[in-house]
Structure 1
Amino acid sequence: MNTSEVLSARDVDLFYGETPAVVNAQISLRKGEVAAITGQSGSGKSSLLYCLAGVLPVSCGEVCFEGRSLGALDDEELSALRRERFGFVFQYGELLPELTVEENTALPLRLAGRRKSDALAAAGEILGRLGLAELRERRPSQVSGGQSQRVAVARALVHRPAVIFADEPTGSLDSSNATAVLEEFLTLARSQGTAVVLVTHDTQVAARADNRYTMCDGTLTAQVREVS
């Protein structure tokens, strides 16, 4: 594993008006590393995720990607960063209903300017790696919940992003599907050197991460792994 830092947060605060959502958060992520953030609903974990992704501007402190502060980027640069270097997986997949599975998967590449034929070829390849090749021409309404979430994972990985931000990526699935989707997701991410920030309330999901953090009332605490 490359030990260079890909993403970091230092002394990050986020306020909604006068209400603190994130307080003095510190986190560091390297290439191919998975960091899990657990906590109760309303603890601030999703707010921190969106700060790390540059979706929410921090109130204080700094988020850096590959050594560059997100606060130094203008809106166009941030949009390009999220489109080209970041990937996203959400709880309910958020697939576009009018597109096929293959077209949904290819979308990040198309938005980055790749030719349609190249984008669809890359989409077909990663769908095959996830066992979804036979679903390429189906619409999201024609696949199961577990299959839909696998497509969302394929879409997040297809452009080989530096970091994927995953907000409760298995929260809508039963335990069997959740385990399978998570295994495939993290195996593929690690194999291509993509770092993952994983927000979850499920401690079993978090146990698959390299580094674990808990969040309570906006305060992020690193968990120390026990040595057996």
Structure 2
Amino acid sequence: MGEAISTSEILSTSAILSATGVDLSYGQQLAVRDAHFSVAPGEVAAVTGQSGSGKSSLLYCLAGVLPAQRGQVRFEGRSLGDLGDEEISALRRERFGFVFQYGELLPELTIEENTALPLRLAGQRKQPALAAAGAVLERLGLGELRGRRPSQVSGGQSQRVAVARALVHRPAVVFADEPTGSLDSANASAVLQEFLDLARSQDTAVVLVTHDRAVAAQADSHYTMSDGILTPRSSA
């Protein structure tokens, strides 16, 4: 386990996304306490901790899904607290990507259509969006699946499609909540490597929440969370 490093060291990078003194509560229960966090373009930042430690709450706060009660979350220097609902929604739709534990593909759409969804939601026309989706699927070795439905592919393939969908619009930040948690170890390792390689090649920052320290070991920076308290650690 690496040595603890200071908040000032963590926040000294040219961050694209940062949190300063963030508290997040559910009623009287404080889920995140005085959190300081930073991730730079192309950097992968992992947050580990036990179930209930507050790591998923932190991720949704960083993504603007849950508002901080105290402190600031800033994206490209601008506080999310200063944005209206429409601006936050546009940010999540156009500049952020998301990968969840079980993929969350839409069953009525083909693999290619699922992958193209962020582009379509951002207003891109159908054929260019499908072409871009097909290119990302090919890069991940999924080109032959593009016409299938989610029910016709394996769990590992489905999670690769979720990765393609999260990255197809070249977002600034991808938020990944236990992205390999539903996979066996061989599939988990392959999907994680493909995910991080593609994100880094696009200079996309990744906020990766996981309980698995082997997954966190692939990150550039590492935070641990316990009882809502976030502690930055070196990646060594």
Q: Could you say which residue in structure 2 is the equivalent of 1:52? A: 62
Greater than 2 Å deviation, 4+ residue runs: none
In structure 1, runs of 5+ residues without a counterpart are: none
Q: Could you say which residue in structure 2 is the equivalent of 1:188? A: 198
1:4 deviates by 2.8
Contact persistence 2:217–2:235 (CA under 8 A): no
Question: Distance between the aligned counterparts of 1:181 and 1:109, measured in 2?
Answer: 22
In structure 2, runs of 5+ residues without a counterpart are: 1-12
The aligned length equals 224
1:206 matched to 2:221? The reply is no
1:5 deviates by 1.5
Instruction: Letter of the 1:148 partner, please give it.
Output: S
Contact persistence 2:100–2:178 (CA under 8 A): yes
Q: Could you say which residue in structure 2 is the equivalent of 1:110? A: 120
Question: After alignment, is 42-51 or 3-12 more displaced?
Answer: 3-12
1:224 deviates by 2.4
Question: Distance between the aligned counterparts of 2:217 and 2:235, measured in 1?
Answer: 10
Question: Distance between the aligned counterparts of 1:213 and 1:193, measured in 2?
Answer: 21
Q: Could you say which residue in structure 1 is the equivalent of 2:154? A: 144
Alignment partner of 2:85 out of 75, 81, 90: 75
Change (3 A) 1:116 1:225: closer
1:1-228 alignment, distance < 5 Å:
4-226=14-236
Instruction: Letter of the 1:144 partner, please give it.
Output: S
Question: Distance between the aligned counterparts of 1:38 and 1:224, measured in 2?
Answer: 13
Aligned-residue sequence identity (percent) comes to: 77
Partner SS, residue 101 of structure 2: coil
- In the TM superposition, what whole-angstrom CA distance separates every residue of 1:57-108 from its partner, at most 9, and x where no partner exists? 0010000000000000000000000000000000000000000000000000
- In the TM superposition, what whole-angstrom CA distance separates every residue of 1:121-141 from its partner, at most 9, and x where no partner exists? 000000000000000000000
Question: Distance between the aligned counterparts of 2:135 and 2:14, measured in 1?
Answer: 29
Partner SS, residue 16 of structure 2: strand
RMSD: 0.7
**TM-score normalised according to structure 2 size:** 0.94
Instruction: Letter of the 2:123 partner, please give it.
Output: G
Contact persistence 2:219–2:235 (CA under 8 A): no
**TM-score normalised according to structure 1 size:** 0.97
Partner SS, residue 22 of structure 2: strand
Question: Distance between the aligned counterparts of 2:87 and 2:232, measured in 1?
Answer: 31
1:173 deviates by 0.1
